[in-house]
């Protein structure tokens, strides 16, 4: 078994891992980017990318080519259990402007492949179909990774390991940086053409079992994402059969999908009950879903992955310069994450609670339908360019309630 030593080994080439690898390789570091999949690979996702994420995609040099293949989304519509709908636009009258006035609806097969190639263009070494099996304890100034590539064991060593291996991160679990709660929710995602009435906004349809997202993703294709609370649905079934059994439970969606043609596989994801205790250990940093998972309802995961990569980049560059990479030395990254995302986590929890309580959602949806300025502000927060404090103010909350 051969053993190479890198400055940084990034586990997972999703948006978080590829962006991290690109930003560190661009600064001349020796970076290896490992993924168990081969690209292009798909990922269960509603495929909405927020306006502020476009800033980082631009920084990484991929925005132009992505825009050419994406649907441009000008806002979000939410439909309650009883059909009350409100729409928030990114270009609102609130005075805040994002990096762009639109978000993107873009296939993950395209987005993730472009980002992985951007990392390679900056000098990172991309190794596909390589499963990271374990991270050994720190020793001799490196961490060692045990790999399986082409059915054979291999290993490599790096001064810093970045765990960007997604929702069920093996790196986080192995280093006891995360805890998993009981299975609560499951997502089933597929694509369809011929969906009735799709416009230039993403849509969220809330029902008693959960919610369904509809998002245009370019070339007349719509992403259909069903997220259900497992305590409210019956026994599990194969993904495709389950998806088609669940759609009729959301009447506003079922009607729109009546003449649609479904394409490709149905991808399943979950549970969403993981909680990360901290995002750093000796010579290890977590980023993206490995560091924290967002409720898909607000569609902020890709932005958090890209912005998280920027934060990793800044802390890692300083730490690698003088080899200060202990858990204590990296703790500033945990603090920066809290400062960056803390209020967003609060807004997300409030939205998740409201979505799970039909009477509360009905009331709030009615208020937002009558006051589009408030809807614009809320959607701007989920678009990552309106500061969350704007909707956490008592005055905003009061206007939603009374
Ligand atoms: C149903 C659903 C809908 C969503 N909708 C949206 C949305 O509309 N907008 C949005 O912004 N976010 C959305 N999200 C969240 C978004 O998908 C994630 O936040 C985002 O993918 C996180 O990126 P990541 O790079 O951290 O992880 P991932 O994209 O999951 O990438 C992780 C990578 O790690 C690799 N990997 C895992 N384990 C190993 C291992 N042991 N060895 C080697 N490689 C490994 C995987 O193959 C994968 O390529 C949604 C999520 C779900 C579940």
pLDDT tens per residue across span 323-367: 999 999 999 999 999 999 999 999 998 999 999 999 999 999 999
* Predicted confidence (pLDDT) at residue 308 exceeds the cutoff of 60: yes
Using a pLDDT cut of 90, give the percent of the chain over it.
85
What is the pLDDT at residue 108? 98
Q: Which of 35, 239, 298 to mutate to test the pocket of ligand 1 (most atoms within 8 A of CB)?
A: 35
Q: What is the DSSP string of 22-77?
A: HHHHTTT--EEEE-SS-SS-------EE-TTHHHHHHHTT-HHHHHHHSEEE-EEE
What are the tokens at 189? 């995602």
Over residues 4-15, mean pLDDT: 95
> For residue 257, what pLDDT is reported?
97
Residue 235 pLDDT > 80, yes or no? no
Question: What is the spatial distance between Cα 356 and Cα 7, in angstroms, rounded to a whole number?
Answer: 45
Q: What is the pLDDT, as a whole number, of residue 139?
A: 87
Q: Find the mean pLDDT for residues 61-70.
A: 97
> Mean of the pLDDT values across residues 128-140?
94
Question: Which residue has its alpha carbon closest to ligand 1 atom 16?
Answer: 301
Contact 70, 108 (CB under 8 A): no
User: What's the CA-to-centroid distance between 263 and ligand 1, angstroms?
Assistant: 21
Distances in Å between the alpha carbon of 2 and those of 112, 135, 153, 237?
29, 16, 10, 44
Q: Is the pLDDT of residue 402 over 90?
A: no
Residue with the two structure tokens 């597929």: 190
Shortest-distance atom of ligand 1 to CA 272 = 53
Distance CA 129, CA 34 (A): 8
* CA 41 to each of CA 12, 116, 128, 251, 290: distance values in angstroms, whole numbers, following the listed order: 12, 11, 11, 32, 18
The pLDDT of residue 182 is above 90 = no
The atom of ligand 1 lying closest to the CA of 50 is 11
Q: Is the pLDDT of residue 246 over 60?
A: yes
Q: Which atom of ligand 1 is nearest to the CA of 308?
A: 26
**Measured between alpha carbons, how far is 296 from 382 in angstroms, rounded to an integer?**
11
- Closest-lying ligand 1 atom to the alpha carbon of residue 291: 26
Mutate to test the pocket of ligand 1, among 12, 39, 105 (most ligand atoms within 8 A of CB): 12
> How far is ligand 1, taken at its centre, from the CA of residue 166, in Å?
5
Q: Is the pLDDT of residue 183 over 60?
A: no
Q: Whose CA is nearest to atom 37 of ligand 1?
A: 165
Report the Cα 370 to chain-centroid distance in Å.
30
Over the stretch 192-206, which tens digit does the pLDDT of each residue have? 999 999 999 999 999
Q: Which of 354, 361, 275, 344 is nearest to 307 (CA)?
A: 344
**250-287 as b/e, with b when 16 or more CB fall inside 10 Å?**
bebbeebbeebebeeebbbbbbbebebebbbbbbbbbb
Q: Which domains, ranges and CATH numbers included, belong to the chain? A: 3-43+108-181+274-342 (3.50.50.60)
Which stretches of 70-129 are DSSP H helices? 108-121
pLDDT band (50, 70, 90) for residue 220: very high
Q: How confident is the model at residue 4 (pLDDT cuts 50, 70, 90)?
A: confident
Q: What local confidence, expressed as pLDDT, does residue 76 receive? A: 97
C-alpha of residue 322 to centroid of ligand 1, in Å: 32
**Of 256, 291, 40, 11, the residue nearest 156 (C-alpha):** 11
Label residue 3 by pLDDT band (50, 70, 90). Answer: low
pLDDT at 62: 98
Strand partners, 192: 222, 262
Contact assessment for residue 252 and residue 142, using Cβ atoms and an 8 Å cutoff:
no
Over residues 177-182, mean pLDDT? 79
Residues contacting ligand 1 via CB (< 6 Å): 11-17, 34-37, 43-49, 131-132, 164-166, 170, 187, 189, 225, 227, 269, 288-290, 294, 296, 299-303, 305
Compute the distance from residue 219 Cα to the ligand 1 centre, in Å: 23
Q: What integer pLDDT is reported at residue 323 of this predicted model?
A: 96
* pLDDT reading at 69 higher than 90: yes
Ligand 1 centre distance from Cα of residue 371 (Å): 34
pLDDT for 124 equals 98
pLDDT at 296: 80
Q: Mean pLDDT score of the chain, rounded to an integer?
A: 94
Compute CA distances 20 → 124, 151, 161, 313, 395, whole Å. Answer: 10, 27, 11, 6, 38
Counting runs of H as helices and runs of E as strands, what totals does the chain give?
A: 13, 20
Task: In whole angstroms, give the CA distance from residue 4 to residue 377.
Answer: 50
Minimum CA distance residue for ligand 1 atom 9: 299
Q: How far is the CA of 289 from the centre of ligand 1 (A)?
A: 6
SS3 assignment, position 360: helix
Q: What number is the average pLDDT over the span 272-292?
A: 92
Residue 2: per-residue pLDDT: 52
Residue whose CA lies nearest to ligand 1 atom number 27: 166
Distance 200 CA to ligand 1 centre (A): 25
Peptide bond into 271 cis (omega under 30): yes
CB-based contact 183:174 (threshold 8 Å): no
Tell me what pLDDT residue 270 has: 81
Cα distances (angstroms) measured from residue 355 to each of 76, 248, 253, 352, 360: 15, 19, 17, 5, 8
Residue 29 is predicted with a pLDDT of 98
How would residue 322 be classed by pLDDT, with cut points 50, 70 and 90? very high
Average pLDDT over residues 308-316: 98
Residue to probe by mutation, ligand 1, list 183, 305, 308, 381, most atoms within 8 Å of CB:
305
**Closest C-alpha to 349, from 272, 290, 279, 281:** 272
Closest residue by Cα to residue 149 from 162, 131, 135, 134: 131
């Amino acid at each position: 078994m051969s053993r190479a030593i890198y400055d940084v080994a990034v586990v997972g080439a999703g948006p978080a891992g590829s962006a991290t690898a690109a930003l560190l390789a661009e600064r001349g570091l020796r970076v290896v980017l490992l993924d168990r999949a081969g690209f292009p690979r798909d990922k269960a996702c509603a495929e909405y990318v927020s306006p502020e994420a476009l800033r980082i995609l631009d920084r990484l040099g991929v925005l132009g080519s992505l825009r050419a293949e994406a649907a441009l989304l000008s806002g979000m519509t939410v439909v309650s259990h009883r059909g009350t709908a409100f729409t928030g636009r990114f270009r609102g009258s609130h005075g805040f402007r994002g990096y762009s006035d639109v978000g993107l609806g873009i296939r993950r097969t395209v987005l993730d492949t472009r980002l992985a190639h951007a990392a390679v263009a900056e000098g990172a070494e991309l190794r596909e179909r390589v499963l990271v099996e374990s991270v050994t304890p720190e020793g001799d100034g490196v961490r060692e990774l045990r790999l399986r590539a082409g059915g054979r064991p291999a290993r490599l060593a790096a001064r810093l390991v970045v765990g960007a291996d997604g929702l069920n991160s093996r790196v986080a679990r192995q280093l006891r940086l995360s805890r998993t709660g009981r299975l609560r929710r499951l997502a089933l995602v597929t694509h369809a053409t011929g969906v009735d009435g799709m416009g230039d906004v993403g849509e969220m349809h809330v029902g008693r079992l959960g919610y369904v997202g509809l998002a245009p993703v370019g070339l007349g294709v719509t992403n259909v994402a069903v997220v259900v609370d497992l305590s409210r649905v019956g026994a599990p079934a194969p993904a495709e059969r389950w998806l088609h059994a669940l759609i009729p439970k959301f009447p506003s969606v079922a009607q729109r999908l009546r003449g649609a043609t479904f394409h490709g596989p149905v991808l399943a994801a979950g549970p969403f009950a993981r909680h990360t205790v901290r995002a750093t250990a000796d010579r290890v940093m977590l980023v993206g879903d490995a560091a924290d998972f967002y409720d898909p309802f607000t569609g902020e995961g890709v932005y958090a992955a890209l912005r998280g990569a920027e934060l990793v980049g800044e802390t890692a560059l300083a730490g690698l310069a003088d080899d200060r990479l202990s858990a204590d030395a990296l703790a500033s990254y945990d603090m920066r994450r809290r400062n960056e995302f803390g209020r967003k986590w609060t807004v997300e929890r409030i939205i998740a609670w409201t979505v799970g309580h039909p009477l509360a959602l009905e009331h709030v949806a009615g208020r937002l339908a009558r006051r589009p300025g408030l809807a614009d502000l809320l959607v701007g927060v989920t678009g990552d360019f309106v500061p969350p404090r704007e909707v956490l103010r008592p005055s905003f909350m009061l206007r939603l309630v009374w």
